[in-house]
Amino acid sequence: MPKTMTKSAQDYLKRIYELTECGLPASTNDLARELEIKPASVTGMIQKLAAEKPALVEYQKHQGVTLTPAGKRAALEVIRHHRLLETWLVQTLGYSWDEVHEEAERLEHVISEDFERRIAAALGNPTRDPHGELIPTEDLKMPVDDSTPLSALRPNQSATIQRVISQDPNLLRHLNSLGLTPGVQIEITDYSSFDNNLTVKVGRKSNVLGLNITTKIFVEIE
Amino acid sequence: MPKTMTKSAQDYLKRIYELTECGLPASTNDLARELEIKPASVTGMIQKLAAEKPALVEYQKHQGVTLTPAGKRAALEVIRHHRLLETWLVQTLGYSWDEVHEEAERLEHVISEDFERRIAAALGNPTRDPHGELIPTEDLKMPVDDSTPLSALRPNQSATIQRVISQDPNLLRHLNSLGLTPGVQIEITDYSSFDNNLTVKVGRKSNVLGLNITTKIFVEIE
DNA sequence: AAATATATTTAGTCAAGACTAAATTTTAGA
DNA sequence: TCTAAAATTTAGTCTTGACTAAATATATTT
Ligand SMILES: [Mn+2]
Ligand SMILES: [Mn+2]
Ligand SMILES: [Mn+2]
Ligand SMILES: [Mn+2]
């Protein structure tokens, strides 16, 4: 593995991991948008990552990038740091799930492997972070997630919320106020085919949720 | 205050603070040694810090540097981070006092003010770190330390260890094994004027300590 | 199949922060 | 006080990772 890894390289690899989870290469433009870096700069960094020995990304001009095994390991290392940190900020310092992302984004690059092991052990080797995202294992395998988007459910189905994919603090606070957080049981009571709204019952309260929300909540059907 | 502050600038300011505690300006060479950076590079950075608006250091060629009020505030902010982090790593993650310095050295630059407040509160606003160093207050005042170097004590004097100024893990482990840690009561039973060795009683054990050690332990005389 | 629009890459620039080698002070010794 | 040593600064270079503007390749329309 490459001796040192800059914060920048780590952030690129992490984003490439996320963008290629669907199986397709990550495009320069998508990466640029996610990283908030101009496309020209992204091309430059991609070429550098591809030139490392061993290569961290597989790159062909105009065809996007994918991670090599070494790049994937590096990405999973950062993602493990990030998700353990978020979990730990929530559990031990009383952060709420909408406050942890930014902090973890900076800490993830500087903690030691020792620190990583200590917080993992202190938390009891958790498998999911506060948003329900799976935490890569210590040997850097990403567990498989078999959850379904809430948007795919229909009336009379029951489910448990597994994860919420959003880093938008406002949305997270909103969902929290509705009681829509990982672990919570829900039931679908209505569906409108016109706007794809779902009526979701949590406890004794019901809420009508649009696609913008239901595609971001993933559940396990019962 | 300057908008952003790089890790480098923070490390420079922290070292300048430490080197100027005695009242004298910090020399280029001393800074270079402490920072493990070549003197020529130190000159360059000093000039940059002096040119900031507001200036962070007072600098006259060949005369060394001192901190301006703004530079001192920035230094104390980093030192507060460092010492709170060390305390917290020891208290909540089971680090020993010889393991925390390196980790804190990296974390100190990336934690938010929110994080700082949270760990300070969780620790009960501690006044000293695991080495007994005073922690700057939230409003960035450095408490005064009235402790005496152990080397100044003579037979029949009793004292309590306040702080140990060393970042050398080997020395710290050695002192730990001798029971010479902050808070511990000691008594001087012998002194040799030839080599300045002191015989120090801790509990029921006695140890003969040379100047290399006795100048690094600070005590409160009883 | 052109023509246009979009995406991507190249070329050249910049700032930060380090380094080496050479020049210049300052300090200390004889 | 003059000289040699030590400390410090200057000048010029390098790497990293950004940026803009311009060139080129790919995709989408007509
Ligand atoms: Mn996150
Ligand atoms: Mn990050
Ligand atoms: Mn320390
Ligand atoms: Mn540091």
pLDDT digits (tens, 9 = 90+) for B38-47: 999 999 999 9
Cα angle B42, B44, B50 (rounded to 5 degrees) comes to: 100
Break chain A into its structural domains and give their ranges. Answer: 9-67, 148-221
In chain B the first and final C-alpha atoms are separated, in Å, by: 43
- Mutation target for A interface from B5, B91, B107: give the one with most A CBs within 10 A: B107
| Partner B contacted by A95 (CB < 8 A) | yes
- For ligand 1, the distance from its centroid to the CA atom of residue A37, given in whole angstroms, is 19
Q: How far apart are CA B90 and CA A191, in angstroms?
A: 53
Report the gap between the CA of A222 and the closest CA in chain B (Å).
38
Q: Cβ–Cβ of B103/A92 closer than 8 Å?
A: no
3-state SS assignment for residue A176: helix
Residues in chain A: 222
pLDDT number for residue A1 = 56
Reading the block at residue A35, the tokens are: 């990283």
**Residue B36: HSE in the Cβ half-sphere, 13 Å Cα cutoff:** 0
Residue B207 pairs with which residues in a beta bridge? Answer: B200
Span B166-182, average pLDDT: 95
Q: pLDDT > 70: what percent of chain B?
A: 99
pLDDT number for residue A3 = 64
Q: How far apart are CA A82 and CA A105, in angstroms?
A: 7
Per-residue CA distances from A49 to A4, A5, A212 (Å): 13, 10, 35
Q: Which residue has the tokens 């990336």?
A: B110
Per-residue CA distances from A203 to A16, A206, B205 (Å): 39, 8, 65
3-state SS assignment for residue A65: strand
| Partner A contacted by B146 (CB < 8 A) | no
Average pLDDT, chain B: 96
Span B151-175, average pLDDT: 96
B148-221, CATH topology level: SH3 type barrels. (2.30.30)
Burial tier of A40 (Cβ tally within 10 Å: 0-12, 13-18, 19+): exposed
The residues near A53 (Cβ < 8 Å, ≥ 6 apart) are A2
Q: How far apart are CA B81 and CA B13, in angstroms?
A: 14
Reading the block at residue A34, the tokens are: 């996610």
pLDDT number for residue B3 = 64
Per-residue CA distances from B167 to A35, B76, B98, B100, B128 (Å): 38, 19, 7, 9, 15
Backbone phi, psi, residue A130, to 5°: -65, -20
Q: Taking phi first (over 0 means left), then psi (-120 to 50 degrees means alpha), and beta for anything else, what does residue B26 get?
A: beta
> H or E stretch including A202?
strand A198-202
Provide the number of CB pairs (under 8 Å) joining chain A to chain B.
41
Taking a C-beta distance cutoff of 8 angstroms, is the pair A85, A110 a contact? no
Taking a C-beta distance cutoff of 8 angstroms, is the pair A108, A82 a contact? yes
Over 60: is that where the pLDDT of B1 sits? no
Span B188-206, average pLDDT: 95
| Partner A contacted by B93 (CB < 8 A) | yes
Neighbours of A82 (CB within 10 A): 23
Report the gap between the CA of B8 and the closest CA in chain A (Å).
15
* CA neighbor of B30 nearest in space, from B75, B70, B20: B20
pLDDT number for residue A4 = 80
Residue-wise pLDDT for A64-118, tens only, equals 999 999 999 999 999 999 999 999 999 999 999 999 999 999 999 999 999 999 9
Q: How far apart are CA A94 and CA A88, in angstroms?
A: 9
pLDDT number for residue B14 = 98
- Mutation target for B interface from A92, A108, A117: give the one with most B CBs within 10 A: A92
| Partner A contacted by B121 (CB < 8 A) | no
pLDDT number for residue A194 = 95
* CA neighbor of A164 nearest in space, from A119, A134, A208: A134
Q: Which amino acid is located at A112 in the chain?
A: S
In chain A the first and final C-alpha atoms are separated, in Å, by: 43
- For ligand 2, the distance from its centroid to the CA atom of residue A106, given in whole angstroms, is 5
pLDDT number for residue B4 = 80
Span B153-176, average pLDDT: 96
Taking a C-beta distance cutoff of 8 angstroms, is the pair B133, B90 a contact? no
Q: Which residue has the tokens 């672990």?
A: A183
Which protein residues have their CB within 5 A of the ion that is ligand 2?
A 11, 105
Cα angle B72, B62, B31 (rounded to 5 degrees) comes to: 50
Q: How far apart are CA A196 and CA A179, in angstroms?
A: 21
3-state SS assignment for residue B17: helix
Over 80: is that where the pLDDT of B84 sits? yes
Q: Which amino acid is located at A124 in the chain?
A: G
Q: Taking phi first (over 0 means left), then psi (-120 to 50 degrees means alpha), and beta for anything else, what does residue B188 get?
A: beta
Neighbours of A125 (CB within 10 A): 12
* Regions in chain A scoring below 70 on pLDDT: 1-3
> Is 1.10.10.10 the CATH number for A9-67?
yes
3-state SS assignment for residue A72: helix
Q: Please give the DSSP secondary-structure letter assigned to residue B143.
A: P
Compute, in degrees rounded to 10, the torsion defined by CA atoms A16, A21, A26, A30.
-80
Q: How far apart are CA A142 and CA A128, in angstroms?
A: 11
